[in-house]
Amino acid sequence: MKPPPTCAIMRDMIATNLASKLKEGLPAELAGFMKTAAELAAERGLSLYLVGGVVRDLLLGKPNFDLDLVVEGDAVALARELAGIKAAKITTHPRFKTAKLTWAGLSVDFTTARSESYEHPGALPTVTPGSLESDLFRRDFTINAMAVSLDAGRYGELIDHYGGQTDLAQRLIRVLHERSFTDDATRIWRALRYEQRLDFQLEEATLNWLKRDIVQLNTISGDRLRYELECVFREARPEKVLCRADELGVLQKLHPALRADAWLEDRFRLARKLTLPQPPSFALYLALLAYRLNGDECAELSTSLKLSKPVARVVHDAASLKAKIKALAYPEIKPSYVYRLLCGFSQSAVVAVSIAAASPVARQHLESYLHKLRYVKPALGGSDLIAMGVAPGPRVKELLERLRDARLNGEALSRQDEAALVKEWLTEAT
């Protein structure tokens, strides 16, 4: 699809200059780097622009240090020269004509200005080098389709062909054209993320096209859907995005049995409290989202999202642990029993169930397992038992487990207590 003719483009009426925002809104190292990059680009006769999310966030006054630079010309060659100057690490994707520089904990992406076309819905785009204008037109939403010129004579000048500033002011998420979600249905998830993160609304036509194209999510690979879900879980409040996705029927494209509601909102909030200062892991959030699915449904979700083995295990374990909650709902059960019920399960699954279980008693047992019981070990080891006359083999393992049970239940408090117990068991056995 070609960009509309210039006369039809909503040209920005007020020339906005973001030079001072660039200086104030970015760490000095990055602002300085952009100056160096702009000077080098000028020497090479190339035009250089800052684009995408960082421009949006500069205008919103939100911190964002993920710089995306677009070069009208060979971005990889320019990035290579800059990597030399900064002694930065460079990774390149010659096929997509992109490069990434990383140094001192910072990273900057370089892209060759390009236009994109899609052979069929769900396909990855075919990329052709182009102008900044076509590069902005390939983008998802007006608020992400603005650029800032870094050229010497125009440094800081905002380029806003599609009304991004107006949409920021009106708090709207708007696609650039009717086929945006058809071309790339992952933008449906992106739209919901921005809407909920920024507290914006989907513009009316955009919402209608989004609803029309929900079915196109069927064409997106498991890897790409999982990536979108990872992005959702990286939001400060992913539950807001999931609830909106549920309301629109987007969530059910991941699995028809998934639900996001007040129950999930509470569980996600609790998960964040529990894992502070870290955010919850992808596996923990996913186990909570999938908690109300049955075993078969969890397996279907794992396959369709192509989950890694460890993450699939957490989701599966959390679903299996639900069956143990009844047994854990009695206050008087012994710690050794709790241990044996839970010891084979992945830790994140136990955390998920401790957040999700309805029974307060079961939750207490799960927490006690997580914070205390799982660390309990006997003081004596296998070689101690053998020295005491136990025959090497399965008997050693069995006695070590009995010792751990005794420790858990407070029947052995020291190494001496353990040795006395072993002697007793050995005499009993003879």
- Return the number of the residue (105 or 344) whose C-beta is nearest ligand CTP: 105
> CB of residue 62 vs ligand CTP: minimum separation in angstroms?
9
Q: Which x/- pattern over 126-145 shows residues binding ligand CTP (rule: CB under 6 A)?
A: -------------xx---x-
- Return the number of the residue (95 or 273) whose C-beta is nearest ligand CTP: 95
- The residue among 74, 53, 71, 77 whose CA lies nearest residue 63 is 53
- Return the number of the residue (186 or 196) whose C-beta is nearest ligand CTP: 186
> CB of residue 225 vs ligand CTP: minimum separation in angstroms?
13
How many CB atoms are closer than 10 A to CB 427?
A: 8
- Return the number of the residue (174 or 316) whose C-beta is nearest ligand CTP: 174
Rama region for 278: left / alpha / beta (φ>0; ψ in -120 to 50; rest): beta
Is 53 within 8 Å of 144 (Cβ atoms)?
A: yes
Q: Tokens at residue 430, please?
A: 């003879």
Specify the DSSP class assigned to residue 5.
P
How far is it, in rounded angstroms, from Cα 38 to Cα 397? 67
CA-to-CA dists, residue 150 to 15, 153, 160, 180, 286, angstroms: 15, 8, 14, 28, 41
Q: What is the Cα gyration radius of the chain?
A: 29
Sequential DSSP letters for 22-87: HHHHS-HHHHHHHHHHHHHHHHTT-EEEEETHHHHHHHHT-----EEEEEES-HHHHHHHHHHHHT
> CB of residue 161 vs ligand CTP: minimum separation in angstroms?
13
Q: Tokens at residue 404, please?
A: 């751990």
- Return the number of the residue (190 or 365) whose C-beta is nearest ligand CTP: 190
Percentage helix, strand, coil for the chain under 3-state DSSP, each rounded to 5: 55, 10, 30
160 binds ligand CTP (CB under 6 A): no
- Return the number of the residue (67 or 422) whose C-beta is nearest ligand CTP: 67
How far is it, in rounded angstroms, from Cα 7 to Cα 18? 25
For the sheet with 158-159, list strands across it.
89-93, 98-103, 106-112, 67-72, 47-51, 147-149, 158-159
- Return the number of the residue (235 or 417) whose C-beta is nearest ligand CTP: 235
CB-based closest residue to ligand CTP: 53
> CB of residue 88 vs ligand CTP: minimum separation in angstroms?
19
> Does residue 5 have a cis bond before it (omega within 30 degrees)?
no
228 binds ligand CTP (CB under 6 A): no
- Return the number of the residue (198 or 361) whose C-beta is nearest ligand CTP: 198
Contacting range for ligand CTP; rule: CB under 6 A; set: 40-48, 184-192, 315-323, 387-395: 184-192
> CB of residue 58 vs ligand CTP: minimum separation in angstroms?
12
- Return the number of the residue (16 or 64) whose C-beta is nearest ligand CTP: 64
> CB of residue 139 vs ligand CTP: minimum separation in angstroms?
4
- Return the number of the residue (184 or 384) whose C-beta is nearest ligand CTP: 184
**The binder of ligand CTP chosen from 142, 165, 186, 346 (CB under 6 A):** 186
**The binder of ligand CTP chosen from 24, 39, 66, 261 (CB under 6 A):** 66
Contacting range for ligand CTP; rule: CB under 6 A; set: 16-24, 185-193, 219-227, 339-347: 185-193
> CB of residue 378 vs ligand CTP: minimum separation in angstroms?
50
Helix (H) or strand (E) holding 194: helix 186-198
68 binds ligand CTP (CB under 6 A): yes
**The binder of ligand CTP chosen from 157, 160, 167, 184 (CB under 6 A):** 184
Contacting range for ligand CTP; rule: CB under 6 A; set: 181-189, 215-223, 327-335, 344-352: 181-189
How far is it, in rounded angstroms, from Cα 361 to Cα 414? 29
How far is it, in rounded angstroms, from Cα 381 to Cα 336? 19
- Return the number of the residue (66 or 230) whose C-beta is nearest ligand CTP: 66
**The binder of ligand CTP chosen from 3, 52, 335, 378 (CB under 6 A):** 52
**The binder of ligand CTP chosen from 114, 161, 174, 187 (CB under 6 A):** 187
How far is it, in rounded angstroms, from Cα 305 to Cα 360? 32
Residues that bind ligand CTP (CB under 6 A): 52-53, 66, 68, 139-140, 144, 184, 186-187, 190
